[in-house]
């Protein structure tokens, strides 16, 4: 369901001001056996205060990829890999974009790091919290178990990033795929990937496969009475026909219903937890 590539190895990324060593922006991805801030502090002490060249540092099974820009030092902590060059190139790209965008702030440093939070969108466009299949369909979560106020707060939802998040959320209707929402919003692939990575990480959405004529569904539980009341007793027959081996089209042929009718009912049954997607043999 969710593809995993080399970016699944990323543990932590941090941008730190060269001159004073102040953390400017840090994004934790996954738990580590060591405190990433302590690792970053140790590496920075060597680079900034001892004025030593250091490109790679290994600690507790992790590799710290290090690149220096004009104003900031970038630290990317990843699991051990045979070749860190792809990560290094992407880290250099991130540093260059950051310094180009915020050169005026960095040149006239006042200690306020709040303006830099928007740049998390750029970083998550390169290193999302996890890679998402753009054929998946997002559904807004009514409540999050982690917070009583509907959603967990997204720390990067500020300024223009917040505006983009709200636009994306407005397109989520449980029918459009990530790809279709990207096309409707006219956002770049990078921005769309970053925003959905945030929404997924902070439990604003859940993701399902796109329902279509070739989808195979299976019964998970009996339909609730409110759905039987809405669709009638034939609903039970529809549910039973989805045994994991039949496609939506095949169920339509058995019951003499149109694909549109069965798809609409099936979507409601999926939302209610009555049906789920079945794994099909390739």
What's the confidence (pLDDT) of residue 94?
Answer: 97
What's the confidence (pLDDT) of residue 247?
Answer: 92
* pTM as predicted: 0.79
Confidence band of 95 (pLDDT split at 50, 70, 90): very high
What's the confidence (pLDDT) of residue 12?
Answer: 93
What's the confidence (pLDDT) of residue 51?
Answer: 67
What's the confidence (pLDDT) of residue 145?
Answer: 53
Q: Which long-range contacts (CB under 8 A, 24 or more apart) does 159-166 make?
A: 159/117, 159/118, 160/118, 161/117, 161/118, 161/120, 161/121, 161/195, 164/121, 164/191, 164/195, 165/195, 165/198, 165/199
Integer Cα distance of 181 and 50 in angstroms: 49
Residue 14's H or E segment, with its range, is strand 10-17
What's the confidence (pLDDT) of residue 126?
Answer: 96
Span 107-150, pLDDT tens digits: 999 888 999 999 999 999 999 999 999 999 998 887 655 444 55
Instruction: Out of 91-95, 114-118, 174-178, give the one with best mean pLDDT.
Output: 91-95
Model confidence at 6: pLDDT above 70: no
Span 187-228, pLDDT tens digits: 999 999 999 999 999 989 989 888 889 999 999 999 888 888
């Amino acid at each position: 369901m969710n593809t995993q590539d080399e970016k699944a190895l990323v543990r932590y990324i941090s941008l730190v001001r060269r001159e004073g060593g102040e953390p400017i922006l840090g994004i934790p991805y996954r738990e580590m056996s060591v405190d990433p801030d302590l690792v970053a502090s140790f590496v920075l002490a060597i680079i900034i205060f001892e004025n030593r060249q250091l490109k790679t540092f290994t600690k507790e099974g992790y590799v710290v990829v290090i690149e220096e820009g004009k104003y900031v030092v970038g630290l990317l902590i990843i699991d051990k890999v045979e070749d860190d060059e792809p990560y290094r190139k992407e880290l250099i790209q991130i540093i260059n974009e950051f310094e180009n965008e915020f050169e005026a702030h960095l040149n006239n440093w006042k200690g306020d790091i709040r303006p830099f939070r928007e740049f998390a969108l750029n970083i998550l466009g390169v290193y999302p919290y996890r890679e998402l299949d753009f054929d998946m369909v997002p559904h807004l979560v009514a409540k999050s178990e982690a917070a009583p106020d509907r959603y967990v707060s997204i720390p990067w939802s500020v300024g223009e990033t917040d505006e983009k998040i709200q636009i994306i959320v407005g397109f989520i209707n449980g029918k459009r795929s990530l790809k279709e929402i990207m096309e409707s919003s006219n956002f770049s692939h990078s921005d769309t990937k970053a925003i959905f990575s945030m929404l997924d990480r902070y439990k604003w959405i859940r993701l399902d496969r796109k329902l279509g004529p070739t989808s195979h569904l299976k019964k998970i539980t009996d339909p609730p009475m409110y759905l039987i009341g809405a669709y009638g007793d034939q609903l039970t027959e529809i549910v039973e026909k989805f045994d994991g081996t039949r496609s939506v089209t095949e169920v339509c042929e058995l019951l003499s219903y149109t694909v549109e009718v069965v798809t609409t009912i099936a979507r409601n049954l999926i939302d209610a937890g009555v049906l789920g997607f079945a794994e099909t043999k390739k």
